[in-house]
Amino acid sequence: MRLYKYFLIITTVAMILIACGFDNYDAPESVLQGKVTYDGEALGVRGTGEAIQLQLYQDGYELRDHIPVYVKQDGTFQATLFDGEYKLVTRNQNGPWVNARDTVVINLQGSTNVEVKVTPYFTISDESLTLSGSVLNATFDVTQIVSTAEIDYVSLLVSKTAFVDDVSNIARKDFQDLQAGTLTLSMDMAGNNEFTSAKYLFARVGVRTIGADQAIYSKIVQLK
């Protein structure tokens, strides 16, 4: 029994020393930051729910599992990593762009900026979003980039916070049977209690492509 107690003590001490050894590893300090772009412009995406993901891989590791990097609603991203060579790709079948999955090779030494270039099905530009009483009025240009792409629906979205998308909103209206070009749409929020009581209001436009898992979005506009 005494030998068994000594064995337990030695085992416990060994485990503590091993744990302390792990704790003494340096934390990653290098910063990878960048943006997802088309024609040099960052693309607006859904920023909530970790909906848009990039994937980092590093050769030479047994598991070779990816490191997820989540894209913010303004198209930017950031990750803190160890120095080394990484391969960055978009997640398969994820995002409002062609599923090319081109690899960006990154030699990370300290802080590094990268640009992930994609081909969106559509882009949104020259958006004007204004509030007149309870009515949101929106005028914007939808440009078709991929000739075979078709619009599933266009959304007008309003939120009480600066996070605005098809999930984070207090008011939403979808429009179908639309084509690319200059669009003028409106949404009446009369009777919406959250709209009435909101101290701040933000809005944006989304365009969902048939077959895509996510919409592309305009920049966010503060209405009040």
110: left (phi over 0), alpha (psi -120 to 50) or beta: left
The predicted structure's pLDDT at residue 62: 52
The predicted structure's pLDDT at residue 137: 98
Shared domain check, 173 and 126: yes
Shared domain check, 172 and 89: no
The first and second tokens of residue 93, run together, are: 């079948």
Give how far Cα 111 sits from Cα of 19, 60, 81, 97, 121, Å: 30, 22, 10, 27, 31
Which of 57, 85, 117 lies at the terminal end of a domain, its last residue? 117
Shared domain check, 132 and 101: no
DSSP the chain: -HHHHHHHHHHHHHHHHHHHHHHTSPPP-EEEEEEEEETTEEPB---STT-SEEEEE-TT-SS-PPEEEEPPTTSEEEEEE-SEEEEEEEPTT-SSB------EEEEESSSEEEEEE--BSEEEEEEEEEEETTEEEEEEEEEE-STT--EEEEEEEEESSS--SSSS-SEEEEE-S--SEEEEEEEE-TT-HHHHH-S--EEEEEEEETT-SSEEE---EE--
Residues facing 81 on adjacent strands: 30
Ordered per-residue pLDDT tens for the chain, 224 residues: 444 444 444 444 445 444 444 445 567 778 999 999 999 999 999 999 999 999 999 876 554 688 999 999 999 999 999 898 999 999 999 999 999 998 999 999 888 999 999 999 999 999 999 999 999 999 999 999 999 999 999 999 999 999 999 999 999 999 999 999 999 999 999 999 999 999 999 999 999 999 999 999 999 999 99
The predicted structure's pLDDT at residue 3: 43
Shared domain check, 110 and 167: no
The first and second tokens of residue 76, run together, are: 């930017």
Shared domain check, 132 and 85: no
How far apart are alpha carbons 179 and 150 in whole angstroms? Answer: 8
What's at 93, amino acid-wise? Q
Shared domain check, 135 and 108: no
The first and second tokens of residue 65, run together, are: 């599992």
Which of 89, 117, 145 lies at the terminal end of a domain, its last residue? 117
Shared domain check, 127 and 113: no
Which of 117, 132, 163 lies at the terminal end of a domain, its last residue? 117
Residue 205 lies in a domain: yes
The predicted structure's pLDDT at residue 184: 98
Shared domain check, 132 and 111: no
How far apart are alpha carbons 161 and 148 in whole angstroms? Answer: 35
**CATH number, domain containing residue 108:** 2.60.40.1120
- Domain holding 172, by residue range, is 122-222
**CATH number, domain containing residue 152:** 2.60.40.2060
The predicted structure's pLDDT at residue 64: 65
Q: How many separate domains does the chain show?
A: 2
Shared domain check, 172 and 101: no
Shared domain check, 85 and 70: yes
Shared domain check, 155 and 211: yes
How far apart are alpha carbons 48 and 51 in whole angstroms? Answer: 6
